[in-house]
Amino acid sequence: MAIQLIRALGQLIRTLTQLVRTLGQLIRALGQLIRTLEQPIRTLARLKRPVGWADGEVIRAARAVGRVCWPITPAVRPFPECILMAERRFPRPDGDFSAYMIHYFQAVKTWWVGHGLDLGGLSALEAALNAWVAAYPAHTAAQAAAGSARERKDAARAELEQQARPITSFIQSFPATTDADRATIGITIRSAGAGGGGSPTSVPLVIVNAGERLTHGLRLSDESTPTRRARPRGVERAEVFVALTPSMQPAPASIESYRYLGSTSDGATVLSFTSDKGGMQAHYLARWVTRRGAPGPWSATASATIAA
């Protein structure tokens, strides 16, 4: 056993020795590469700013590489691609670019005339400037119109969804609604076992705050926890219905006389009425509805006068 251990240690030492030799060769190769790149690196280091972006081009670094490569490329110098281009410091934002180019053309034209040059040499530049001056405002106006149209579209969609959701909830929980009705309308057909838990067995308590003009504030809580606004387990929302009668008249006996107002999930909602409803009596019914649309029993009627 001891002999095998000694042999294994010897093999490990030989492997480590080979690794050290390989690392030494790598370090020597790296040193040779650094000595090869020393002159170009020194050339770049002498620049005041090694890299400077101007209209998408690394100007100073490109010039440094050109200075290094120029003496060793006599065969390709005649090609235009090998001639270092002048710096082009045109502003990137369109608005700044537009203002700059208008000023630029006028200044160039003044300089051109001042040196007695033929203005025909600026005809292509002038035509390009005129095309830009026509295209840029049109683009800006179209962009602004598209932004406004999108805002109107998004607002209209949000409003439509807000109005459609409570209607869908009401149809889902309406006792006479069938799966065929749901398929025709295009709303979800829930499977028999989805959500579980069955229908709620408790009823909500409805408290009406009629202290403000033409406004009723409703507070809903479960009969088992009247001091809290928490919903029963498995309940998603409460559906609220209202019926209006002349003052001092009793609440309607038939549920068909009540109009669906909407659903609330936080146990409170505020209702506003038009001025012609002032002085009338509002009668409220509510019921819990589960996540799968199963409604519970109706609450007791809560009535209050609409303050005029």
For 150-205, how does the pLDDT look when each residue is reduced to its tens digit (9 = 90+)? 999 999 988 888 888 878 877 877 778 888 888 888 888 866 544 455 789 899 99
Would you say 283 and 187 are in contact if contact means Cβ atoms under 8 Å apart? no
Would you say 269 and 240 are in contact if contact means Cβ atoms under 8 Å apart? yes
For the segment 92-110, what is each residue's pLDDT rounded down to a tens digit? 899 999 999 999 999 999 9
Residue 170 lies in a domain: no
CA angle 169, 172, 177 (to 5 degrees): 145
Residue 191 lies in a domain: no
Residue 37 lies in a domain: yes
Contacts of 291 (CB under 8 A, 6+ apart): 195, 234, 236
The predicted pLDDT at position 171 comes to 84
pLDDT surpasses 80 at 259 = yes
If one compares 38 and 279, the residue with the highest pLDDT of the two is 279
If one compares 12 and 282, the residue with the highest pLDDT of the two is 282
Q: At 265, is the pLDDT very low, low, confident or very high (cuts 50, 70, 90)?
A: confident
Q: Which of 82, 105, 133 is the last residue of a domain?
A: 82
The one-letter amino acid code at 234 reads G
The predicted pLDDT at position 130 comes to 94
Please tell me the pTM assigned to this model: 0.44
Q: Which of 18, 48, 82 is the last residue of a domain?
A: 82
Q: Which of 82, 106, 139 is the last residue of a domain?
A: 82
Residue 184 lies in a domain: no
CA atoms within 13 A on the CB side of 186: 2
CATH number for position 233 = 2.60.40.10
The predicted pLDDT at position 258 comes to 93
If one compares 277 and 73, the residue with the highest pLDDT of the two is 277
Residue 262 lies in a domain: yes
Residue 292 lies in a domain: yes
Residue 213 lies in a domain: yes
pLDDT surpasses 90 at 261 = no
The predicted pLDDT at position 89 comes to 75
Domain range for 44: 2-82
Q: At 67, is the pLDDT very low, low, confident or very high (cuts 50, 70, 90)?
A: low
Which residue from 247, 243, 241 is spatially nearest to 280, judged by alpha carbons?
A: 247
Residue 123 lies in a domain: no
pLDDT surpasses 60 at 274 = yes
- The domain tally of the chain equals 2
Cα–Cα distance measured from residue 230 to residue 41, given in angstroms and rounded to the nearest whole number: 72
